[in-house]
Structure 1
């Protein structure tokens, strides 16, 4: 797909190190010259002797438990709503309220794909033992100084370019002051006055899931994109205690701030989903909302239809799923409208949302710019980014989601829904798996691909549809038994792409039945079929499809049609014009009887249907006419 991983690109641009292939390819196959651009990223810090490279706090807790799967969270939400006795209107029918106008602005915080923190060399892993990756600066030890890590700029600039922003040649860091246990220093380092990038926009189309009221497309402006630190992870414990994990302190984030231009809840959720897809597509952010790598703060206000200006806004913090964004916006909109209709005043405040809730809850009063006392960070100089670096990063991004979606729909014949699902599943790894499977299938079938996952012919579209169906639905059925497919970022899982391609190749050539193909998939997943051993398993088990002859199909059809005069009468009445619709249901009833009566491993449903239709038209119906 023409994409270069962020880690490999960072090593090349900052240190001149090349991968095993000896070169990097940009979009279109163009090679980069063997030189690096470290001189084009300058940080005018006076604190190069940071102690953040070697010291970490000792672990004080067990490793964090894995995140709860989203499917389980949604089930718990449904149970909670049912237990509350409250009913809920479908969101599709709840996008507007007569006489009122909604305005939404969103702040998206995305964790950058880097190996080190923003201002220390501590590792960014958050799944290891608590407090095992904490430098002196992360813990705000007296005398510890920040040391900006230039490698964090690579994914940040790519994120800005993917959103259509203009990267500023000079950006600066500010201190945002507030006191909370998750912020050891008492302030957060961010970029408020001089961010890394400004401008940009995200175009949302109907296929992205926007509200029907927005029409075919809507554009949302991006005000700015800024670098900032993450805070500690807080885990509530019995008795009112809270445990802090400082592994997350200092993780590099980009905060993406939109203009208040969103008018409908579904469009707000679509915007967050589209931004996540864009960041993943350029390898800037590798963890999605469900894994905690992306969070959204939503600003909501309402006003009466026709009124000028904006209403008083409230902010809903730390929404962690697309569904939560839409549900929280609807709940807060309805709450504000109820307050105003009762003659009250909406207070500017920060509110929270819990999975399964039907109402937002107050957290604290809303802080303003003055409350945070923004000031330039005295320990960090400006960041200067060269124009040639920006050009090289832009050339290495590969296809963006809209272009890739168009290719999947128009080039490969997939539905927009299936294409989007492939692109979103497994943090973007499922689409890479699909391309690998498709290329391997076409290699087996002798159809040369074009490097984008498939050959652009009618046959190629059939191959793509087959691969997409199995990568989405059949692979998805395995997760009903085991929630972990073991999908890796480069697109491999417990069912190797080559093995699935072998199964699909045999299925496409009608060498095995669909049932045998599904059994083989399950066998590969469980490890009963060794990697690369699909064909051998078919041979050993005698699973090759040796189809019945046409005469054998006909004899089977005659056997199951015997005694079905009432059913066959429907076909006679259709031929005589006494009914308008062809009795397709009755035809499939007879085909089903054939499939049950015959040797399943030797029968193809399409062939059985063809023979049964022919026998009905040429033998059974004429026989009924003769009897009449």
Structure 2
């Protein structure tokens, strides 16, 4: 439950620079004493050593740092996720994350004498959705236990959790290469989930200057699920991929409040190593594990595992032993650090909570939730890649962004595009008639919309305002569909399309213009492309005085594409950009170079 930060410092070698620099009467300046090393040479040698040491310490890229020869890494993960509920787990206080501190606190949250926990049954629904998304078996009966430890963020002296009888067991997550697993895991692997349990969150500690800490009890009692995996992971990148996929799954079924980036999901990783050879894989038991607490980003998961793996290997190779302990990690660090000795079951003194009844879940409720769970991310990514031809990377990004709201927006844009293209709204089969148009829409939803809010110097840049049902407050569905259709049909240029997107984002449509089409008409931004003759005339002007460049196209071993684009750029600058299609300009320039400019230049050279 603790959080911490640190960073190592570099070594200063300046105190070593005065060695062997003094002279004596017996050893004049012109005749150095035997063994004397001039200061300049000392400095040069030390600089070389420092540079070499720096190279040795240079951090390897994670992609090439997944395996240490002769050693096997084993990782188990515990993921804590805040459930999407209106009430706390054992009180009717409202869940709050951004309100005034200590403004949503019940008597039980403060462990006030005489107060009793009252299980809020509605908190079970998102927990069950999460369990189903993780392919778990929902248990008909589960019970709550007390986990005893003392800290200021836990006023009762214990946390209520489900240690002995959790509400879900025996799940599995299938990880594929597109999920970002290590290359060493090949075509993928299944990670088993031991159990999923409900538990209450602790209060939030806020450090103040000096030794002062403030405690906000708004978070105390917020419902969590803890997802505990089996030790099936053997590569750091795969561990990060698992946490990422769990977040996507929880968002997809509306079980989680927010992801790692907003503090709604945290991961603890258990790391151990043991010796192994390729010829004789080790059948020894797993090594002593250490736990790294409260990792708050996917990169932190991977980096911390690599650092702890390397630390344990170094200790064992030096003849030492690994102590079971809890360790911490700071963003940007290169080493984990010890926090405390590892607590065990005996230390926590788990016991059934005497104030809470068992939780009984009916098969009818599980069947109902399974029936309305909807399409899970893997199936959705498959559809985006197979039907629309998106890359796996783009499809995954679309599904993951904005907690799943971005992909819902994409589906609404698809429906609008189908209506505007006359291909029948909602008919997936008709998408094959205009595949480029839908790919263009996906690209704009992923990239162009992101650029609207990416300028840190733009004070007016605001959140796009996506809603879970796929609406966008700043860029309405039909407005984006209009821009994409006009661009796809080449009725506007890409430059005009981007300007129109800004106009929509700023609210000028519909405040000043009735629609996107009205803005184009009013501002005379329709694309009236040059004729073939006009393109040719513009090309003639662009090559005028550029004989040296044109001559490069006469005899080449590698086509001078960069010089071709230089000439096309001259065409764009000499003409009316709003009437030029860059692809057609390039095609015209390439054709005229072959048919006209190069032959003409060669003829003049022969005559001279």
Shorter-chain TM-score tier: 0.7 to 0.9
**Paired position in structure 2 for 1:508:** 488
What is the distance in 2 between the residues matched to 1:449 and 1:100?
56
Gapped regions of structure 2 (runs ≥ 5): 12-53, 277-281, 456-460
| The one of 550, 563, 566 aligned to 1:589 | 566
What is the distance in 2 between the residues matched to 1:588 and 1:605?
10
> What does 1:41-60 align with in structure 2 at a 5 Å threshold?
none
Q: Is the 8 A contact 1:222 1:256 kept in 2?
A: yes
CA 1:160–1:460: 2 relative to 1, 3 Å: farther
1:614 aligns with 2:588: no
What is the distance in 2 between the residues matched to 1:405 and 1:553?
42
Q: Is the 8 A contact 2:8 2:333 kept in 1?
A: yes
- Which secondary structure state, in structure 1, belongs to the residue aligned with residue 420 of structure 2? helix
CA 1:221–1:342: 2 relative to 1, 3 Å: same
Q: Is the 8 A contact 1:430 1:487 kept in 2?
A: yes
1:515-555 Cα deviation digits (max 9, x unpaired): 11111222222334436632222222221111111211111
Q: Is the 8 A contact 2:437 2:485 kept in 1?
A: no
Gapped regions of structure 1 (runs ≥ 5): 1-75, 574-578
| The one of 369, 386, 391 aligned to 1:393 | 369
What is the distance in 1 between the residues matched to 2:254 and 2:430?
27
CA 1:220–1:595: 2 relative to 1, 3 Å: same
What is the distance in 1 between the residues matched to 2:185 and 2:400?
23
1:306-334 Cα deviation digits (max 9, x unpaired): 25111111111111100000011011111
What is the distance in 1 between the residues matched to 2:304 and 2:425?
45
- Which secondary structure state, in structure 1, belongs to the residue aligned with residue 564 of structure 2? helix
- Which secondary structure state, in structure 2, belongs to the residue aligned with residue 138 of structure 1? helix
1:424-450 Cα deviation digits (max 9, x unpaired): 222222222222223223322222243
Q: Is the 8 A contact 1:172 1:381 kept in 2?
A: yes
| The one of 97, 107, 131 aligned to 2:78 | 107
1:476 aligns with 2:447: no
Q: Identify the range of structure 1 (611-620 vs 158-167) with the bigger mean alpha-carbon deviation.
A: 611-620
What is the distance in 1 between the residues matched to 2:167 and 2:543?
74
Q: Which has the higher contact order (CA 8 A, sep 6+)?
A: 1
**Paired position in structure 1 for 2:541:** 559
What is the distance in 2 between the residues matched to 1:498 and 1:246?
44
**Paired position in structure 2 for 1:228:** 199
**Paired position in structure 1 for 2:100:** 129
* Residue-pair matches, total: 544
1:262-313 Cα deviation digits (max 9, x unpaired): 1010000000001111111111113111011111010011111125111111
Q: By how many angstroms is 1:196 displaced?
A: 0.6
**Paired position in structure 1 for 2:404:** 428
> What does 1:136-151 align with in structure 2 at a 5 Å threshold?
136-151=107-122
- Which secondary structure state, in structure 2, belongs to the residue aligned with residue 133 of structure 1? coil
Give 1 or 2 for the bigger CA radius of gyration: 2
Q: Is the 8 A contact 1:413 1:464 kept in 2?
A: no
Q: Is the 8 A contact 1:448 1:455 kept in 2?
A: no
**Paired position in structure 2 for 1:45:** none
Q: By how many angstroms is 1:479 displaced?
A: 2.6
- Which secondary structure state, in structure 2, belongs to the residue aligned with residue 220 of structure 1? strand
1:357 aligns with 2:357: no
**Paired position in structure 1 for 2:465:** 486
- Which secondary structure state, in structure 2, belongs to the residue aligned with residue 248 of structure 1? coil
1:92-115 Cα deviation digits (max 9, x unpaired): 111111221111000001111111
Give me the CA root mean square deviation. 2.1
**Paired position in structure 2 for 1:403:** 379
- Which secondary structure state, in structure 2, belongs to the residue aligned with residue 239 of structure 1? coil
Q: Is the 8 A contact 1:231 1:250 kept in 2?
A: yes
| The one of 254, 259, 271 aligned to 2:230 | 259
1:283 aligns with 2:254: yes
Q: By how many angstroms is 1:624 displaced?
A: 4.1
| The one of 578, 581, 584 aligned to 1:604 | 581
Q: Is the 8 A contact 1:411 1:456 kept in 2?
A: no
CA 1:460–1:375: 2 relative to 1, 3 Å: farther
